Amino acid sequence: MSLRFGYGTNGFANHRLGDALAVIADLGYTGVALTLDHAHLDPYAPDLPRRVEALAAELQRRGLGVVIETGARYLLDPRRKHAPTLLDDEAAVRVEFLRRAVDIAADLGAEAVSFWAGVPGATGADHWDRLVRGCAQVVEHAESKGVLLGFEPEPGMLVETIEQWFDLRGRLGEPEPFQLTLDIGHCRAIEPHGVAECVRIAGPHLVNVQIDDMCRGVHEHLEFGAGEIDFPPVLAALREVGYTGLVAVELPRHSHAAPAVAARSLSFLQAAQWLGDAEESLAAEPEQISKIFPSVRRKLGRDAADAGRVRLLRSLPEPAAHVAKLYRDGDNDEKRAVLLALPVVDPAGEHADLLRDALRSNDSRLVAAALGPYAEHLGDDEWRHGVLKSVFMGLSLAGVHGLDARADAELARMLAALRTEREAAGRAFPQDACDLLERLT
């Protein structure tokens, strides 16, 4: 089962709504998380019924599902961000807004309306009373309209964990419309179980998923290695629990580059989903690695291919049993990935012969990879000749693992001879090699 990826319109704040929908659909997303706001669909506009009708037709024409988000910053109060909330004295304003959101959701055929508790720092019993009272009013209206609600736990809020969400739902009498919105970035920050396990706990009640990467507390681009969430198992967990709703990218701070960020985000999510599927397949049938390995670059892209192949090798029950064949049968990209993975998958050094083969090649990337940490399994003379070849090919010596610790007088002699030879031929000698030679003599 493939997940349904969507994109939040709050990440297209500089686009007209129609233009944003066109870009999102053309990129290949299957849904939108629509934030009701001044710029897109103002719930207080005098011509709201006409606009909602037109939007419903546009969404249907483009084949886009929709969830309604209610996190507009200054929609209700031009001076106070997100105010008033369900915890404030003016909570009736927020309740009325949420009822409007439910009405709009019903008219659009939206999958859910998402909302949250209130402002950070509210923790008292009176705040809980206000929250339960406000939620009950919204639930009653949602029931009458046949609309699902996705209540989102938020870090620092009165309800910030899934456990507290269960508490709130219990206080409301466990009404059917009251379900769960899960922000994956927030889940990493507030749940002790790990993100994938967090998804499994929330699974039966999920109606809306927001996805980003909260790296050091800031919404960051979705890129391999850029943040702190391991996405493939998270996406696998969503499929495992049978989630069929939207998984919507939420990057509101990136509207200045919305089309490019949205394109990159979808490519990332599709790649992460494929990688998770591949790991599951290899767990069941490790021999499939010979078929999966060659397709990594096509599925993940050039920049992520090395990391993806290394990851797949590490996921195998007995990776060392496969590296020789993968190296022998692979192209140079695949060979390089095998070399990069060797320090982890074969720490005993049983495949040092692969390094010797790489050092005989004329591919500078293979030579560089062969001089990584696994090169400790090469004999001293083999290692010296590898360093010398690296200098000859113009590779940076910064990539030679443990260079200063292992360099010796014999390497200095070899480097000096190479420098003399190159100077006699009128050719430059690399500066980092000159620096190394100076340190050794």
Q: Give the start-to-end residue ranges of the domains of the chain.
A: 4-259, 379-441
Q: Are 45 and 17 in contact (CB under 8 A)?
A: no
Q: Summarize pLDDT for 356-377 with one digit per residue, the tens.
A: 999 999 999 999 999 999 999 9
Q: How many other C-beta atoms are found inside a 10 Å radius of the C-beta of residue 168?
A: 18
Tell me the pLDDT band of 349, cut-offs 50, 70 and 90: very high
Q: Summarize pLDDT for 137-176 with one digit per residue, the tens.
A: 999 999 999 999 999 999 889 999 999 999 999 999 999 9
What span, in angstroms and rounded, lies between the C-alpha atoms of 235 and 315? 17
What span, in angstroms and rounded, lies between the C-alpha atoms of 274 and 277? 5
Pairing assessment for the beta strands 206-211 and 178-183 based on DSSP bridges: parallel
pLDDT of 225? 45
What span, in angstroms and rounded, lies between the C-alpha atoms of 287 and 276? 17
Tell me the pLDDT band of 229, cut-offs 50, 70 and 90: confident
Using left for φ > 0, alpha for ψ between -120 and 50, and beta otherwise, residue 153 falls in: beta
For the record, the structure tokens of 99 come out as 């009822």
CA-angle at 380, arms to 375 and 373, nearest 5°? 15
pLDDT of 221? 39
User: If you average pLDDT over every residue of the chain, what do you get?
Assistant: 93
Mean pLDDT of 397-402: 96
Tell me the pLDDT band of 124, cut-offs 50, 70 and 90: confident
**DSSP string for residues in 286-342:** GGGHHHHGGGHHHHH-HHHHHHHHHHHHHHSSSGGGTHHHHHHHS-HHHHHHHHHHH
Q: Which of 138, 174, 152 is nearest to 33 (CA)?
A: 152
Mean pLDDT of 122-140: 92
Distance of CA 58 to the CA centre of its chain: 29
Mean pLDDT of 326-343: 97
Q: Summarize pLDDT for 9-31 with one digit per residue, the tens.
A: 999 999 999 999 999 999 999 99
For the record, the structure tokens of 68 come out as 């309604």
pLDDT of 194? 84
Distance of CA 48 to the CA centre of its chain: 36
* pLDDT of residue 185 exceeding 70: yes
pLDDT of 223? 46
Q: Summarize pLDDT for 74-107 with one digit per residue, the tens.
A: 999 999 999 999 999 999 999 999 999 999 999 9
For the record, the structure tokens of 282 come out as 């290899």
Tell me the pLDDT band of 121, cut-offs 50, 70 and 90: low
Tell me the pLDDT band of 186, cut-offs 50, 70 and 90: confident
Mean pLDDT of 191-220: 76
Give me the percent of the chain exceeding a pLDDT of 90: 87
- Tell me the CB-side half-sphere exposure of residue 109, using CA atoms within 13 A: 12
Q: Are 342 and 351 in contact (CB under 8 A)?
A: yes
What span, in angstroms and rounded, lies between the C-alpha atoms of 181 and 185? 12
Q: How many other C-beta atoms are found inside a 10 Å radius of the C-beta of residue 203?
A: 16
Bridge partners, residue 194, by sequence: none
Q: Summarize pLDDT for 33-53 with one digit per residue, the tens.
A: 999 999 899 999 999 999 999
Using left for φ > 0, alpha for ψ between -120 and 50, and beta otherwise, residue 27 falls in: alpha
What span, in angstroms and rounded, lies between the C-alpha atoms of 237 and 42? 35
* pLDDT of residue 188 exceeding 80: no
pLDDT of 187? 81
- Is the preceding peptide bond at 84 cis, omega within 30 degrees of 0? yes
Task: Domain 4-259: give its CATH code.
Answer: 3.20.20.150
* pLDDT of residue 219 exceeding 50: no
* pLDDT of residue 314 exceeding 60: yes
pLDDT of 216? 34
- Tell me the CB-side half-sphere exposure of residue 297, using CA atoms within 13 A: 12
Q: Which of 261, 263, 333, 271 is nearest to 300 (CA)?
A: 271
* pLDDT of residue 396 exceeding 90: yes
Which residues, including other chains, have CB under 8 Å from residue 318's CB and lie 6 or more apart? 286
Mean pLDDT of 276-288: 95
The backbone torsions φ and ψ at residue 197, rounded to the nearest 5 degrees and listed phi first, read -70, -35
